[in-house]
Amino acid sequence: MVNNPPLRDGPGHFVPPHPAALANFFPQLEIYSLLGVGGMGVVYKARQRGLDRMVALKILPPQISTEPTFAERFAREAQALARLSHPNVVTVIDLGQSGSVYYFLMEFVDGVNLRQMLQAGKLAPRDALDLILQICEALEYAHGEGVVHRDIKPENILVDKKGRVKIADFGLSKLLGVARPDLQLTQSNQVMGTMHYMAPEQIDQPLAVDYRADLYSLGVVFYEMLTGELPLGRFELPSRKSAVDSRVDELVLRLLERNPNRRCQQASEIRLQLEAIAGVTSKLSPEVSRKLSYEYRSRAEVFGLPDRKSTRLNSSHLVI
């Protein structure tokens, strides 16, 4: 019988436990396989026995249990995250502590993350624009609920087989309150985020970060989606590297303003500008449609993709 999962292998190392080592901690689950490993913890694909549905089990890094204030912070912040309910945000089903293990039980998103999509090849501009629009909707909702993500990056942007964006790990940087081991950052309990995607103020004034930091990160992701590159140093405008409307250049540059007061101030502002720039066009590119194994049924389209206000009623929701 396994009493404790082997989460550590030397100082600072987070070794994912074998699914069998977690059985006693989660008898309500049938844990199948490891989905991913990162500074936020490890994620497993599992089946919830009682409801016979697939779920994702995230186990938080073991070192957090040694922090004297973590239990109180977990109770406060995690419950706030669990209240988030939006089609473009990964749903938290349950959370808590089992033995020494802190965990989240979340909806299982059957698809890929944006990093995997980018590695498969640069996205067509119309596909990139639709994904950004969905991300804006998620950020607009979360910011309205008082939750800042602090780590928007391709790995945390999931796309299911129906083409829907699902943002994962909302608010976990604040909850964990540590500089994660996969980042070359400074000062535990202060700097939170991922290098190259972080807003300047996340490094300079990490305790004063607000929702505008997410908008800077969104600008980095947007640029990378359009060009296949990160906006480092003296970078080219997106329209010079991609067949995108040149009016997008100004929007991307505003998102990447170092001074948050000169940046776009709200996700809704970005969404409305993109809708005004793009207007109404044709349909989802065949390549992305094939990759996601999905055909939209709506005729109402934005950026070459169906308007989600129509597809939400016409398409079947992923059962998780």
- In the chain, the DSSP E strands lie at 29-38, 41-48, 53-59, 92-98, 101-107, 111-113, 157-160, 165-167, 301-302, 305-306
- What CA–CA distance (Å, rounded) separates 153 from 113? 10
The candidate with the shortest Cα–Cα distance to 167, out of 142, 203, 196, is 142
Residue 171: per-residue pLDDT? 67
Torsional sign, CA 266, 271, 272, 276: positive
CA–CA separation, 88 vs 267, rounded Å?
14
* pLDDT computed for residue 209 by the predictor: 82
d(CA 41, CA 177): 13
Region of 303 please: left (phi>0), alpha (psi -120 to 50) or beta: left
The pLDDT value given to residue 216: 95
277 CB neighbour count, 10 Å cutoff: 16
125 alpha-carbon distance from chain centroid: 20
Q: How far is CA 242 from CA 71, 128, 135, 157, 245, in A?
A: 48, 11, 20, 22, 9
Gyration radius (Cα) of the chain, Å: 20
**Considering the entire predicted model, what is its pTM?**
0.75
Residues of the chain with pLDDT under 70: 1-14, 39, 65, 171-193, 280-320
Q: Is 169 in the active site?
A: no
Active-site residue, selected from the candidate residues 151, 169, 214, 307? 151
Cα distances (angstroms) measured from residue 96 to each of 51, 54, 75, 108, 174: 19, 19, 8, 18, 17
DSSP for 141-176 reads: HHHHTT---S--SGGGEEEETTS-EEE--TTHHHHH
